[in-house]
Amino acid sequence: MSDAAPDLRVERKPKLSETVVAAIRRQLQAGEILPGHKLPTEGQLTETFGVSRTVIREALAKLAADGLVEPRQGAGVFVTEHISTVFGALAADMGAKDSVALNVLEVRLAVEIESAGLAAIRRNAAQEAAIQEAFFEFERLLLDSQPTGPADLAFHRAIASATNNPFYVEMLDVLGRRAIPCDVTSPWSTELVQSDDYQRGLQREHLVILNAITAGDAEAAREAMRAHLGASQQRYRERLQARQAYYANSVKAAAGE
């Protein structure tokens, strides 16, 4: 035995219960079943998913372990009040204003900084591999001059995931979707986001983070992430000003002559 060649490849076939977990997770996140309400019974889920009750139960156990649902014997399985729901409602009303977006980005900054520190300490081999994978994916896309947004997001998610605290991931999902400036597809952002310089800069900062995490240095990881997101914040602010100036000119142009 010994060198069993851990084989970091992550292609293993998904267990049935995992697919069920993913499906139910999606439904919960989409708000198809509201907090406090009851899930379909195990029997019903058995039918809808076409798997045995064993698999359903395993999936529910996993969801319960993450605190998403709470089974009560004799009554049913209920959706717990969850952070994301609160923030979902909270974040719903703030897509409009950019100053708000900046504030949210700032909260995300707090979460991600700590996230990086924890990841440096707690990551396991597979999680570290996932982070590196996202990093190299970014690199590859950059060389191909393809949009790097998804890889950037994957990088951050991998780090959040490496904290082994599911709430960090959830938090990032909720905050990120609204505040991540990297993958917004707006007319004024494309030319900036797609510039090579910009993306090279991002990747440089990513590298520092990655190194700190692989080195297991929490303090350095936090600092690197702080620098990265601080810079992002700054870039976003500049872009905002540029946009405002643009609009101001438009208005002036439209009014003046």
- Here the tokens at position 230 are 């601080």
What, of a second copy, DNA, none, does residue 185 touch, CB below 5 to 8 Å by kind?
Answer: none
CA pair distance 248, 254, nearest whole angstrom: 10
Nearer to DNA, 69 or 101 (CB): 69
Residue 39 binding partner per list a second copy, DNA, none, with a CB distance cut-off of 5 to 8 Å that depends on partner kind: DNA
The DSSP H or E segment spanning 70 is strand 69-72
Q: How far is residue 102's CA from residue 243's CA, in Å, rounded to a whole number?
A: 14
Among a second copy, DNA, none, what binds residue 113 when CB lies within 5 to 8 Å by partner kind?
A: a second copy
Nearer to DNA, 1 or 253 (CB): 1
Q: Which does 160 bind (CB under 5 to 8 A by kind): DNA, a second copy, none?
A: none
**CA dist., res. 36 & res. 82, Å (int):** 10
Please report how close the Cβ of residue 100 comes to a second copy at its closest, in angstroms: 4
Check residue 171 for interaction with a second copy (CB under 8 A). Answer: yes
Helix 53-65 vs helix 42-49: crossing angle, to nearest 10? 110
User: Whole-angstrom Cα distance, residue 22 to residue 180?
Assistant: 24
Residues 135 and 155 sit within 8 Å (Cβ to Cβ): yes
Residue 18 CB, shortest distance to DNA, in Å, is 8
Written as six digits, the tokens of 235 are 């870039």
Q: Which residues bind a second copy (CB under 8 A)?
A: 2, 4, 6, 17, 36, 54, 57-58, 61-62, 64-67, 80-81, 83-87, 90, 96-97, 100, 103-104, 106-107, 109-111, 113-115, 118, 121-125, 164-168, 170-171, 174-175, 178, 216
